[in-house]
Amino acid sequence: MFLDGDSIKDTEHYVHLEHDGRILLVDKDGSGPKKARPGRQYHDQGDLMRLPTPTEVAKMGIGYVPRRVNIYTLGNRNVKIEVSTPDIPWPSDWALKDSLISDNAVDPVARESVYRTMHRVVSKVVLVNEDGQVLLAKVTRGFFAGFWTLPGGFVDYGEHPRDGAIREVKEELGLVISIPDHNGETGRKTVENCEFVIKEAIFNEEGIDWISLTYKSNFVDSGQRITPKDDEIEEARWFDVGEAIDRSISVFDRDAIMTLVGTDQSSSDSQDSI
């Protein structure tokens, strides 16, 4: 276990130095830089390449600007990671970020640190009916089980967020909707402008980074029936704007409704959450 002098007892303290896709790795003695090799099989767990400690970075004479500290448990290891930007020119001899994830000769803590710095992308919809009401769904699983949220979810691999939002509404509620696309990003250009909100946040000390892209869509009732997905949605209901804001568990959702629809009817008493 590699401990720095000011580390919490039994907590491993490392610095995640990243510059334009390159990360500093060192050997068990703190010497580096070392490079990763994708797909490598490696069995000497006592000699893994790893992130450097703050003391080792100081000995290398590398200055850096801290961005945030992530603290989490990995197996039976407690780790504290300073995610930082090095104050040096682009380090071509450092490990490629995309290479170390699948290299078994790299310490799992370093690979986990890379994983945690990747964005989780969620796409959602503020669906507004002809009465100016907003549609919310009460989910039965996931992060918000038992709470009201905007329809939406994770963007699939190789999927544009607009397509992901349309897909999620169809899967969760059985509704076919359209979202304006005045730039022709995913199909034919529309005359109507696309209104959307992008939010980014890290909500706890473990450092998982979320990006939420929320679109506005005007819903015209053409006889479609809301059909909640059995294993995911308990119920779905239209709410006046103020009540929709108050009931939404996600701060991303509340901000999107306030930005895309309005705040006049909203309460200021809602508590922030993911």
CATH of the domain at 38: 3.90.79
Q: What is the reported pLDDT for 271? A: 41
pLDDT at 84 over 90: yes
Identify whether 241 is part of a domain: yes
Identify whether 268 is part of a domain: no
Are 124 and 256 members of one domain? Answer: yes
Residue 216, both tokens: 């506005």
Residue that is last in its domain, among 116, 145, 172: 116
Identify whether 148 is part of a domain: yes
Are 237 and 132 members of one domain? Answer: yes
Residue that is last in its domain, among 74, 93, 116: 116
Taking residues 215-242, report their average pLDDT.
Answer: 93
Q: What is the residue-averaged pLDDT of the chain?
A: 90
Helix (H, G, I), strand (E, B) or coil at 209: strand
Query: What percent of the chain is modeled with pLDDT above 70?
Result: 92
Q: What is the reported pLDDT for 25? A: 98
Identify whether 266 is part of a domain: no
pLDDT at 115 over 50: yes
Taking residues 194-222, report their average pLDDT.
Answer: 93
* Closest listed residue to residue 15, CA positions, set 59, 50, 48: 50
CA distance 118 to 127: 29
pLDDT at 274 over 90: no
Are 56 and 20 members of one domain? Answer: yes
CA distance 122 to 62: 36
Are 140 and 88 members of one domain? Answer: no
Q: What is the reported pLDDT for 221? A: 85
Identify whether 265 is part of a domain: no
Owner of token pair 């509404």: 169
CA distance 51 to 75: 17
Residue that is last in its domain, among 116, 147, 181: 116
Strand partners for 120: 210
Are 123 and 202 members of one domain? Answer: yes
Identify whether 178 is part of a domain: yes
Are 99 and 127 members of one domain? Answer: no
Identify whether 27 is part of a domain: yes
> Could you tell me the residue range of the domain that residue 24 belongs to?
11-116
pLDDT tens digits for 125-179? 999 999 999 999 999 987 788 999 999 999 999 999 999 999 999 999 999 999 9
pLDDT at 44 over 80: no
Count other C-beta atoms under 10 Å from residue 146's C-beta. Answer: 10
Are 142 and 157 members of one domain? Answer: yes
Are 84 and 128 members of one domain? Answer: no
216 burial (CB, 10 Å; 0-12 / 13-18 / 19+) is buried
Q: Please report, for the domain that includes residue 137, its CATH number.
A: 3.90.79.10
Are 156 and 111 members of one domain? Answer: no
Are 200 and 255 members of one domain? Answer: yes
Q: What are phi and psi of 24, to 5 degrees?
A: -80, 120
Are 244 and 130 members of one domain? Answer: yes
pLDDT at 40 over 60: yes
Domain count, the chain: 2
Q: What is the reported pLDDT for 2? A: 43
Say whether pTM exceeds 0.85.
no
Residue 246, both tokens: 């108050």
Are 15 and 105 members of one domain? Answer: yes
pLDDT at 95 over 90: yes
Taking residues 36-51, report their average pLDDT.
Answer: 87
pLDDT at 1 over 70: no
